[in-house]
Structure 1
Amino acid sequence: MLPEEGVNAVRVVVGLLVRGEYEELETLTEARRLTAAQIAAAVERHGRDLISPPEAAFREVEAVEVPREAPDERAFHVAFPLWTAQDGLSDLTLGLTVAEVMEGVWTVELDGVHAG
């Protein structure tokens, strides 16, 4: 189960993605895996317009805990379903890793936007 702070991190990332604020996403994630240009290209490749998901989607975040090197860190892989103007709930998924690196401090890494 993803703690509420981790869900809030997912909420922030999805909001930035939906608004097309790719530079802010790059800054937030420190471009660990994807740059702003790569994020934009991933969204554009699918040719759909992202919209904000209903609040209920954030109450149903599915997360899988992943091992970390530091014993006091927690990390979770999240596959969050995206919503589009064309489809509503779409077949697009945002893959990300959220990690609590110290108590109350969370980081985010984007894994990509995937179809299917």
Structure 2
Amino acid sequence: MLPEEGVNAVRAVVALLVRGHYEELETLTEGRRYTASDMAATIARSGRDLISPPEEAFRAVDAVAAPQEAADERAFHVEFPLWTAQEGRSDMAVGLVVSEVMDGVWTVALEGIRVP
């Protein structure tokens, strides 16, 4: 189960995607795997308009434990569904790795945006 601080990291990523703040999201994730231009291109290709998911969606975050780089680190793979103006909950999803690197300090890596 993903702790509330990890859920807040997911919430922040989704909010930035919905607002189209891709550069800010790239900064947040240190551009490790997905750049702002990658994000913008993927969303544009989808032809859909992202909207904020209902709060209940964040209560059901599906997280799977991931291997840690350090012994005192916790990490989780998250595949979070996205909502669109056209569909509501869509078949699009954002893939993340959410990690607690120090007690109460969380980082997030954007692995990609799935658009079937």
Task: Give the alignment's TM-score, normalised by structure 2.
Answer: 0.97
Partner of 1:61: 61
DSSP-derived class of the 2:37 partner: helix
Contact 1:42 1:112 in 2 (8 A): no
Structure 1: where are the runs of 5+ without partners? none
- Could you list the per-position Cα deviations for residues 36-79 of structure 1 after superposition, in whole angstroms to 9, with x for gaps in the alignment? 11111111121100000000000000000001121000000000
Match of 1:103 in 2: 103
- Aligned equivalent of 2:46: 46
AA matched with 2:78: V
1:6 aligns with 2:6: yes
Alpha-carbon distance in 2 for matches of 1:69, 1:83: 32
Partner amino acid for 2:93?
T
> Using the alignment, how far apart are the partners of 1:67 and 1:106 within structure 2?
15
Please tell me the residue identity of whatever aligns with 2:24: E
Tell me the amino acid that sits aligned with residue 26 of structure 1.
E
Q: Distance in 1 between matches of 2:77 and 2:69?
A: 15
The alignment's TM-score, normalised by the length of structure 1, stands at 0.97
Looking at structure 1, the residues matched to 102 and 42 of structure 2 have their Cα atoms a distance apart, in angstroms, of: 31
Unaligned runs of at least 5 residues, structure 2: none
The match for 1:84 is 84
Q: Which runs of 4+ in 1 moved over 4 A?
A: none
Q: Is the partner of 1:56 in helix, strand or coil?
A: helix
Structure 1 vs Structure 2 CA RMSD: 0.7
SS at match of 2:45: helix
The aligned counterpart of 1:24 is 24
Q: May I ask how many residue pairs the two structures share in their alignment?
A: 116
Contact 1:98/1:108, CA 8 A, preserved across alignment: yes
